[in-house]
């Protein structure tokens, strides 16, 4: 039987080439992008390491006594003394594990993508994300203090201007009123700390929500100015560093944006991590290898709460 070549056709999925044969595979491998780990940038991390520690403590001493005018023969001189107190933070263990089997290793060697190293990298990232969350937000049920909710840290809602509280709303106010209101919110935070401590604490760092940082760094000082609000603030407070922190978008009271001015100084505050990420020896279980990772974490130790000042609602 002769086949009419003019009537011959290919069924769906048939052809001289397969789709995968015509695929252009990019040589670069891409990974999902996650927010930068910020805790070591925002907070000084203690250099004291001891993985066996159950608590982290420090001692605070204060002087007591009052001098007075005395007579030449007085024998009842007032006494001066030194009082000390100890403060403790419990140490907690953060943990995670990863694993791979014999056939995953073979597949990784074939494709030149070491699956064991990829999973170790993923596990390290995940445990650091937990460390980041605890460092900034803490966990009251475990007694972990976070940067955004330090006990006794002054915490003030930004004032309303022209019926507007948030910086986005203040930007819409007429003339330069909104811009001046935003500047006032930042300057008030500096002033509160300096006044409350009688000049003993002068902030050198500002941590704030990235959206708030964007407003400061892109909004002109005036409609006819070629400098931004941030430029103006840095000129008024030379040497101060502004750090945008993603977790501070909702860390303020009621889930509002937060801004904290503080003295970034290990004498004032330190993040206590008695042991950085420690990778234990791989454990062979049948056809699988499992690696455990741990980290020892105590949280933020703030010796001088008034060296920090929080504002929220901007």
- At residue 15, the 3 state secondary structure works out as coil
Q: Which CATH number fits domain 153-265+305-312: 3.20.20.80, 3.30.450.40, 3.30.2320.10, 2.60.120.200?
A: 3.30.2320.10
Q: Where are the domains of the chain?
A: 39-64+81-145+271-301, 153-265+305-312
- Of 314, 179, 195, 196, the closest CA to residue 260 belongs to 314
**What pLDDT score was predicted for residue 218?**
92
For 270, list phi and psi in degrees, rounded to 5: -145, 140
pLDDT along the chain (314 residues), means of 10: 54 59 56 79 91 77 62 68 70 90 75 73 92 94 90 91 89 83 93 90 94 94 86 93 96 95 93 92 86 92 90 94
Pairing of strands 241-244, 205-208: parallel
- Domain 39-64+81-145+271-301: CATH architecture, name and number where available: 2-Layer Sandwich (3.30)
Which of the 8 DSSP states describes residue 307? G
The answer for residues whose C-beta is within 8 angstroms of residue 186's C-beta and 6 or more apart is: 206, 216, 233, 259
Single pTM value for the model: 0.81
Dihedral angle, C-alpha 235, 180, 253, 298, nearest 10 °: 0
Alpha helices by DSSP H, listed for the chain, are: 39-42, 102-111, 115-137, 167-171, 177-196, 210-218, 229-236
């Amino acid at each position: 039987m002769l086949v009419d070549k003019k009537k011959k056709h290919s069924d769906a999925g048939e052809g001289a080439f397969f789709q995968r044969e015509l695929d252009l595979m990019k040589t670069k491998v891409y990974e999902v992008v996650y927010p930068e780990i910020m805790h070591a940038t925002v907070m000084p991390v203690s250099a004291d390491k001891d993985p066996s520690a159950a608590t982290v403590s420090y001692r605070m001493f204060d002087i007591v006594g009052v001098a007075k005018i005395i007579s030449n023969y007085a024998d009842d001189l007032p006494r001066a003394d030194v009082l000390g107190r100890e403060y403790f933070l419990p140490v907690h263990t953060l943990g995670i594990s990863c694993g791979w089997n014999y056939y995953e290793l073979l597949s990784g060697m074939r494709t030149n993508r070491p699956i064991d190293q990829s999973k170790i990298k993923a596990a390290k990232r995940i445990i650091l994300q937990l460390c980041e969350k605890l460092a900034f937000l803490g966990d009251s049920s475990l007694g972990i203090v976070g940067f955004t909710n330090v006990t006794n840290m002054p915490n003030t809602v930004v004032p309303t201007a022209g019926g507007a509280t948030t910086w986005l709303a203040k930007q819409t106010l007429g003339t330069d009123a909104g811009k001046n209101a935003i500047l006032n919110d930042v300057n008030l935070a500096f002033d509160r700390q300096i006044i409350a401590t009688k000049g003993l604490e002068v902030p050198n760092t500002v941590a704030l929500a990235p959206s708030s940082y964007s407003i400061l760094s892109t909004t002109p000082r005036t409609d006819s100015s070629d400098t931004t609000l941030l430029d103006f603030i840095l000129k008024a407070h030379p040497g101060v560093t502004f750090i945008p922190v993603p977790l501070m978008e909702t860390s303020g009271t009621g889930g509002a944006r937060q801004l904290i001015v503080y003295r970034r100084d290990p004498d004032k505050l330190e993040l206590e991590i008695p042991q950085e990420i420690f990778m234990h020896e791989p454990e062979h279980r049948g056809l699988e290898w499992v690696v455990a990772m741990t980290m020892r974490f105590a949280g933020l130790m703030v010796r001088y709460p008034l060296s920090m000042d929080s504002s929220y609602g901007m």
